[in-house]
Amino acid sequence: METVANYFGSLVFNEKMMRSFLPKEAYQELKKSIADGSQLKASIANMVAQGMKEWALSKGATHFTHWFQPMTGITAEKHESFVVPAKDGMALLEFSGKELIMGEPDASSFPSGGLRATFEARGYTAWDPSSHAFIKEHTLCIPTAFCSYSGEVLDKKTPLLRSMEAVNAQAVRILHLFGKTEVCRVVATVGPEQEYFLVDKSVYLKRRDLINTGRTLLGARPPKGQEMDDHYFGNLKSRVSAFMEELDRELWKLGILAKTEHNEVAPAQHELAIIYGSCNVATDHNQLTMEMMKKIADKHDMVCLLHEKPFAGINGSGKHNNWSLSTDTGLNLLEPGDSPKDNEQFLLFLVAIIAAVDDYQDLLRISVASAGNDHRLGANEAPPAIVSVFLGDELTAILDALANGGVSVNKVRESMLLGVPVIPHFPKDSTDRNRTSPFAFTGNKFEFRMLGSSFSVSGPNIVLNTIVADKLCDFADTLEKAPDFSLALAALVKETYQKHRRIVFNGNNYSPEWLAEATKRGLLNLSSAYESLPLFLAEKNIAVCKKFGVFSRSEMASRYEIMMESYVKTVHIEALTLTDMVLRQVLPALSRFSGTLASAASQKHTLVPSLGNSYESELVKRLGLLSDSIFSEVEALKALVLEAQMLDEAKAAARFYGQHVLPSMASIRSLCDESELLVEADCWPMPTYEQLLYSV
């Protein structure tokens, strides 16, 4: 029987395969290129391409593609076969170093945010050796960056790699000041936790809102939702278990370290967590994970929903971004050690992150902004839109003591005694976990919990890496000039925490009291995407991205335009879909059912002339009023959508959609959901929440 160890990474051109298929010289040069970012010679690139091709052919591959991540949030690929003509009318299989290193997909239809005109179609993909090539459906996939003809970045990978270089350079400066000169590289690492829903495909295909928008625009709450807390960590249903088993197997073949899986809080909701690695590779792996989830669900006659809020009234889906910094010598820079108060290096990195989050609250909020995530953030199932940091009691006490000039004493870690002799004692953690916090320290990493399920993790990690690099750079500048390193270090930790302690909050982020307290502290409360996105172009945000070469001013402007345009298009499509569903499904169903009721009422009165108002006649009146109200509201929505389309400026259009179109849609939904509860089940024109959530 084949074991996981035998097939793990079998579809990846990893180090083991490199050693097997590459000449020793090529292998060593490629390893050096990955380690220090140096360019490969053309002769070496040809050797690598030849070895990669031979490996791919041995796995049954017939094509290759430059696999890249445009600013659509999903991946893209153009397939080319290995086949080239031979003189005798036959064919050869070839793959050159030039084809490996660079490709030229048509870039005209990818979002650019004004970086180029539509007729400027040329774009380039460039091989990223730091992320291993892999086989997917008989195609050799080569992870690449993507740029325009004039060199502007059009993808999500390149800025991420730039940000990783920024935080690497500044973190190494700090470590060398601590005497750790053996450290040559610091890598930002990430482990994404992916939430998702599974629904039956046959039921999904009867919901036009799910097909067109990824979320339900109508739907009355079912009698039973998540109130009983019986789904969370519950037994897996057979179809779900089979899906997870196949998903694990396919991810493991791709070298993706799928680790933890379980039922989530809402019915039909589940989660997959992956062991974390470098930001770049983790981002690639998470994109592949979402793709594989959808494909494998389809094979099991299910549909995987990755929208942030597919169902109203129950929990939506997020993606927790576990972020840390690790050295090439194996040190986790966010590991407090046995005595955090005596770990000056840890405390310095800790206050750098606290300061970064405080100064760039807006950038972190923007990095998770979307029309879909607006339905989830702050809905007592996800962190609020107010960014804050959770440290836990012990670390907060240490920093408070330092800031206030007092002495902090490490607590002795107690053992958990459960009163059952057979159960072994285990150490009690120094602090609890705060599931309501947007940015929580969880032992040796920070968990950024505001991401939506469908997000690429590249954007939030670009921001995290860049803003932390900024603070580390400031710290290094100060400490390198200090005549007394120890005194300067102590003063820097103290002053930084004093200045930025307002961002630290260990309490319940869902509470109304926190909203008032956050306002008092001067923290930002950017409750909607259209409200937060304009701050992306604040001068301080442009300055920090330019400082480290992560984004140019024009690249930031383009991303702002793309995010605004995405928000507008998302709500526009939702409004059109809702209008169509109401006019072509809901209102005709109400009319037919009312006709049936009216006929029944007439028969009753014929048989019993003395009968007063009957159930049927009263319900006909009520449905008539609802139908008229729904029709009137839909006509108003149509007028609002037309008005929104007349607005040329993206900021004004996004604000109009958010402030006028979405509330109009909510009003229509309320009327339709009320109607659903009055109509005979067989007469309602679409599957209900009960059918959707319990279909698997």
Examine the pLDDT at 119 and tell me if it is beyond 70.
no
Taking residue 189's Cβ as centre, other Cβ atoms within 10 Å add up to 21
Residues 262 and 388 in one domain: yes
Residues 169 and 306 in one domain: yes
Q: Which CATH number characterizes residue 345's domain? A: 3.30.590.10
Any domain includes 562 = no
Q: Tokens for 295, please give them.
A: 């494909």
Residues 83 and 174 in one domain: no
Out of 125, 154, 183, pick the residue that ends a domain.
154
Residue 673 pLDDT: 97
Residues 623 and 540 in one domain: no
Q: Which residues contact 244 (CB under 8 A, 6 or more apart)?
A: 236, 261, 270, 272
**CA triplet 501, 504, 507: central angle to 5 degrees?**
140
Residues 92 and 206 in one domain: no
Q: How far apart are CA 176 and CA 194, in angstroms?
A: 36
Any domain includes 262 = yes
Give the domain extent around 47.
4-154
In 3-state terms, what secondary structure has residue 360?
A: coil
Any domain includes 274 = yes
Q: Which CATH number characterizes residue 610's domain? A: 1.20.120.1560
Q: Which CATH number characterizes residue 140's domain? A: 3.10.20.70
Query: Tell me: the pLDDT tens digits for 298-321?
Result: 999 999 999 999 999 999 999 999
Residues 483 and 586 in one domain: no
Examine the pLDDT at 150 and tell me if it is beyond 70.
no
Any domain includes 586 = yes
Over 200-251, what HEC string results? EHHHHCCCHHHHHHCCCCCCCCCCCCCCCCCCCCCCCCHHHHHHHHHHHHHH
Residues 403 and 536 in one domain: yes
Out of 104, 133, 154, pick the residue that ends a domain.
154
Any domain includes 247 = yes
What pTM was computed for the model? 0.92
Residues 91 and 64 in one domain: yes
Residues 107 and 171 in one domain: no
Query: Tell me: the pLDDT tens digits for 382-425?
Result: 788 999 999 998 899 999 988 887 655 555 455 544 455 554 54
Residues 268 and 384 in one domain: yes
Any domain includes 417 = no
Residues 515 and 640 in one domain: no
Percent of the chain with pLDDT over 70: 90
Per-residue confidence band for 430, with pLDDT thresholds at 50, 70 and 90? low
CA-wise closest residue to 275 among 186, 192, 187, 164: 192
Out of 551, 585, 616, pick the residue that ends a domain.
551
Query: Tell me: the pLDDT tens digits for 498-530?
Result: 999 999 999 999 888 999 999 999 999 999 999
| Number of structural domains the chain divides into | 3
Residues 204 and 148 in one domain: no
